[in-house]
Amino acid sequence: MTPLYRVSAIRGIEAAHGTAGLMAKAGLAAATLAQELVADGLPVLILAGPGNNGGDALVAARHLKLAWHQVDVVFTGEAGKLPEDARAAHAAWLACGGSIVADIPPARRYGLIIDGLFGIGLTRELDARHTALVDAVNQMSTPVLALDIPSGLCADSGRVLGCAVNADHTLSFLGLKPGLYTLEGPDHAGTVHSTDLGIPAQPAQGWLIESRPALPAPRRKNSHKGNYGSLAVLGGETSMVGAALLAARAALLTGAGRVYCGLLAEHAPTVDDGQPELMLRNAKSLLDLDHLTALVVGPGMGRSGHAESALQRALHYPAPLLLDADALPLLSDHQELRQTLRERPFAATLTPHPGEAASLLGCAVADVQADRVAAALKIAHDYHAITVLKGCGSIVATPDGRWFINASGNPGLSSAGMGDVLAGIVGSLIGQGMACLDATLLGVYLHGAAADNLVADGIGPLGLTASEIALEARSLLNEMQRRMNHGEN
């Protein structure tokens, strides 16, 4: 997996290796990529801000001018207040015959805009002048290359600080930043490129899930259903039976040997006509079984006293479990349930959306979204459970401080039942014997990749259904397994 670095880690890399020469390398890398992107014969507009990001842009401007490109530079800082390297870049730009203007020249057509207003150090909302520049760039039809991070986007969280550049391309220096891949980052970063500026890869605690994670072991010919786990799905209160069935069906489709579905509804169905292979029963008798290899608890569960009692029993069951949907607010509302979870000797995975995450943390949804990586890590630590904070760029966090951002998926996943299917997929992989973290990473990636495949085939994103995701996940998982068996990536 590709490492991801928060701003503090990037600053640590800079401190360990020194900043000497990094701006020269960054500016040259930006100019090289810009020459690949700029439309032939058209000038380049460069926006250079008041800090080192502006210095990178000024170095790029000089290289482009020396390569005979027409370059207009809008500089928003004061030369005397620039950091040392950026001040040198400003002087070198003027020395090579470059000039500076205060605003974007009107009625001029450009082949590329380079955004070098603000980099990864930005933590406050843009002021009026820079907001006006960003708005002007976003209204132009010219392709935009952002340096390190689109100006106005928080590098750690993907949060927009007032407004942000809508880039077509982003060139990230020294390593990839989490804000490019979660929350609002993917809507602003465009195609992400990266350069290490000659510094070898450094240790990281965060990684990008952008290709197939580890898969289950290949199946032997001499096998039977008992070799591939017995998963139980617990949920399905009155009017919400479908949630539990969606999770159970997804589990069956992604390889679980046996799937039981324990329903809390008083008048629950005894057979799933759409998937008769499922074994339906009431919640009490489900938890009386002694051979389950994993449990998924919460889809359509409701929050009644009956549901609370079922969750308490599930927490004491001697097998790994996944808690989703209604199980999460029940957990946050009852201290004894939280304590039971923390003391379990078996692995657990929590899969909250931002609202459920806020409930688990006792904070506002806005606080969760302000720093999704930090929120997921805190839940994982506080609840002693692998945590999947769902949303654009889902975060997977572990109790020991590792974190991952999933790059697969698209807006087609924004419909009812998608979380139930995700829970069923991950639960299925855990029940088949995969390590909890490996199963979670694969399940999250597979869920998003299934949506990507369907959209690529013209199915969605509008109207994409959770049931279609489960079916496509089966096809994709089998294809991954075949490729692995043949030594392909």
Q: Would you state the structure tokens that stand for residue 427, as one six-digit string?
A: 């639960």
Indicate whether 355 and 458 sit together in one domain.
yes
pLDDT at 233: 98
How many Å apart are CA 70 and CA 41, to the nearest integer?
A: 8
**At which residue do the structure tokens 């930006």 appear?**
30
Indicate whether 154 and 292 sit together in one domain.
no
At residue 400's C-alpha, the angle toward residues 308 and 405, to 5°, is 85
Indicate whether 363 and 462 sit together in one domain.
yes
Is residue 211, in this structure, part of any structural domain at all?
no
Indicate whether 73 and 187 sit together in one domain.
yes
Using CB atoms within 10 Å of the CB of residue 70, give its burial: 0 to 12 exposed, 13 to 18 middle, 19+ buried: middle
Residue 488 has pLDDT above 80, yes or no: no
**At which residue do the structure tokens 């500016």 appear?**
27
Is residue 215, in this structure, part of any structural domain at all?
no
Q: Would you state the structure tokens that stand for residue 9, as one six-digit string?
A: 């880690």
**pLDDT band at residue 229 using 50, 70 and 90 as cut-offs:** very high
Which CATH number goes with the domain that contains 374?
3.40.1190.20
pLDDT at 17: 82
User: Ramachandran region of residue 36, left (φ > 0), alpha (ψ -120 to 50) or beta?
Assistant: alpha
- The DSSP secondary-structure symbol of 225 reads G
Residues 171-179, mean pLDDT to the nearest whole number: 97
- C-alpha 75: how far from chain center: 34
Helix axes 22-37, 52-66, angle to 10 degrees: 50
Is residue 209, in this structure, part of any structural domain at all?
no
pLDDT at 489: 67
Which CATH number goes with the domain that contains 103?
3.40.50.10260
Indicate whether 391 and 250 sit together in one domain.
yes
Q: Out of 204, 236, 251, pick the residue that ends a domain.
A: 204
Indicate whether 177 and 233 sit together in one domain.
no
pLDDT at 390: 98
**Share above pLDDT 90 across residues of the chain, in percent, rounded to a whole number:** 93
How many Å apart are CA 387 and CA 375, to the nearest integer?
A: 10
Q: How many domains does the chain have?
A: 2
- The DSSP secondary-structure symbol of 105 reads P
- The DSSP secondary-structure symbol of 176 reads B
- C-alpha 481: how far from chain center: 24
Give the other-Cβ count within 10 Å of 259's Cβ.
Answer: 28
Is residue 410, in this structure, part of any structural domain at all?
yes
Is residue 342, in this structure, part of any structural domain at all?
yes
Q: Mean pLDDT in the chain? A: 96
Indicate whether 246 and 154 sit together in one domain.
no
Q: What is the pTM of this model?
A: 0.95
Indicate whether 165 and 242 sit together in one domain.
no
Indicate whether 196 and 233 sit together in one domain.
no
pLDDT, tens digit, for every residue of 371-420?
Answer: 999 999 999 999 999 999 999 999 999 999 999 999 999 999 999 999 99
Domain that holds residue 191: 2-204
pLDDT, tens digit, for every residue of 261-272?
Answer: 999 999 999 999
Is residue 250, in this structure, part of any structural domain at all?
yes
Is residue 61, in this structure, part of any structural domain at all?
yes
pLDDT at 19: 77
End-to-end CA distance of the chain: 13
Indicate whether 435 and 361 sit together in one domain.
yes
Is residue 78, in this structure, part of any structural domain at all?
yes
Residue 183 has pLDDT above 90, yes or no: yes
Indicate whether 55 and 138 sit together in one domain.
yes
**Torsion 297-298-300-304 (CA) sign:** positive
Indicate whether 82 and 229 sit together in one domain.
no
pLDDT, tens digit, for every residue of 421-480?
Answer: 999 999 999 999 999 999 999 999 999 999 999 999 999 999 999 999 999 999 999 999
Residues 187-202, mean pLDDT to the nearest whole number: 94
pLDDT, tens digit, for every residue of 94-150?
Answer: 999 999 998 999 989 999 999 999 999 999 999 999 999 999 999 999 999 999 999
